[in-house]
Structure 1
Amino acid sequence: MAFNIDLHTHSFFSGDGISSPEDLIAAARAKGLHGLAITDHNTCDAVNYLLQKGLMRLDGLPVDDFLVLPGVEVTTADGHLLCIGAELPYLKGKPAREVCDIIHQRGGLAIPPHPYDLFRAGIRF
C-alpha cells in the first residue's frame, strides 16, 4: 500500500507557520494524505503538544488512521536540514554534516528541504 505523507510542514510553534497542529492534521486529511511530519524550525514544541493531546504516538503507529511523524527543521551553519523520526538536542548553528551524523545515529532520516535554493537555506553537500 502506498502512503502519501507531507514531510515538511510548519505550525504556529515556529516562525514559518500560522496553523495549529490540529489544523495541519485536518488540512492534510482533507487533501487525502495519510500522514505528515511537523518540522518546525529548531523546536519540537508541536511534537510535544501532539503527544500530550494524544494525536501522535512515538512508536510510529497512526492515531485514528492518520500518521504524525516527529520532526524538526534544523538551521545548521550550512542551511536548513529536516530530521524525521528522531529526537534531537538543540543543534542550531552546527555544521550540516555533524547534524546529519547525529540524526542517523539516532535512527532518523535527514532530508535537505530546499535542495535547489542555495541563496537562502539550501545545503551544498
Structure 2
Amino acid sequence: MLIDLHVHSTCSPCSVLKPSEILAHARAKGLDGVCITDHDTMSILTQCREGFQPDGLLVIVGMEYTTDQGDYLVFGDVRTLPAGLSAERLLPRVRELGGAAVAAHPCRVWRPADPAVFERRLCGIAEVRNGRNSDAENEKALQLASGHDMIAVAGSDAHTLAELGRCPTRFTVPVNSARDLVDALNRGQCRPAASHRSAA
C-alpha cells in the first residue's frame, strides 16, 4: 500500500489544504491512504472520519507533535498526550500507549532534531525523504537513519494540494486501520517509495 504519512490540513495554521481536497484527490494521486498529521492537534476528527472512505482511501489521523528537540509524527491512541512534553518524555509515553513515533524532517536546517534523541535510541523511525526538504537535508536524514539503524520512511509534509502524495511510504503488509499502521511502522514493514509525481 502507498500511504502519505505526513499531510497537513487547514487545521494547521500553516496549511491551505482543505480536508475536502485531501479526500477528493488522494486516490487520483495514486495513494491508498493518507495520514493527516496536523500540528499539535487532532481536531480534523470533527471534519472527517478515520477508516476507509467510499472511494477506498484509508484515512488515519495522527499528529505532528512539537518539541524543543524536534518534531515527531505520532500515531495510535495519542489523543490524551498533554501539550508541551519534551522529546525525552514524549517518545517513551507514545511507546507506553502502544503507538509509533516518527522523527519528522530530523535534519532540516532551520528546525533540526536534537542528535541526543537518536544517540539515546528514543526514536527508532526517521523520515528520510520529506517533500519540503532540500536534497541535502534528505540525504543527511538518510545518513542519520543508517547510522543509528533506524526504520526509514517518507512523508510529503503536504500543505497544498500540489504537494499531496509527493513523498509516500510503501507498506509491505496490508494496512486497514491505525493499529495496522502502528504495527507496520514499528516492525519496519515499510520503506520510502520511489519519487512519486502524479499528473492529477
If the TM-score is normalised by the length of the shorter chain, which range does it land in? 0.7 to 0.9
Residue matched to 1:6? 4
Letter in 1 for 2:31: L
Shift of 1:14: 0.8
- Unpaired runs of at least 5, structure 2: 118-200
1:82 and 2:80 are equivalent in the alignment: no
- Distance in 1 between residues matched to 2:114 and 2:26, nearest whole Å: 27
1:63 and 2:61 are equivalent in the alignment: no
- Unpaired runs of at least 5, structure 1: none
- Distance in 2 between residues matched to 1:36 and 1:70, nearest whole Å: 8
Runs of 4+ in 1 over 4 A off after TM superposition: none
1:46 and 2:44 are equivalent in the alignment: yes
Map residues 21-36 of structure 1 onto 2, 5 A cutoff.
Answer: 21-36=19-34
- Distance in 2 between residues matched to 1:69 and 1:80, nearest whole Å: 19
- Distance in 2 between residues matched to 1:48 and 1:87, nearest whole Å: 16
> Is the CA contact 2:12–2:38 (under 8 Å) kept in the aligned structure 1?
yes
Letter in 2 for 1:105: E
Shift of 1:16: 2.2
Aligned with 2:47: secondary structure?
Answer: helix
Structure with the larger RCO, 1 or 2 (CA within 8 Å, 6+ apart) = 2
Change (3 A) 1:97 1:7: same
Aligned with 1:103: secondary structure?
Answer: helix
TM-score when normalising by structure 2: 0.52
Which has the larger share of helix?
A: 2
Larger Rg: 2
Letter in 2 for 1:10: H
- Give identity over the alignment, percent: 33
Change (3 A) 1:116 1:107: same
Change (3 A) 1:118 1:46: same
After superposition, the CA RMSD in angstroms is 1.8
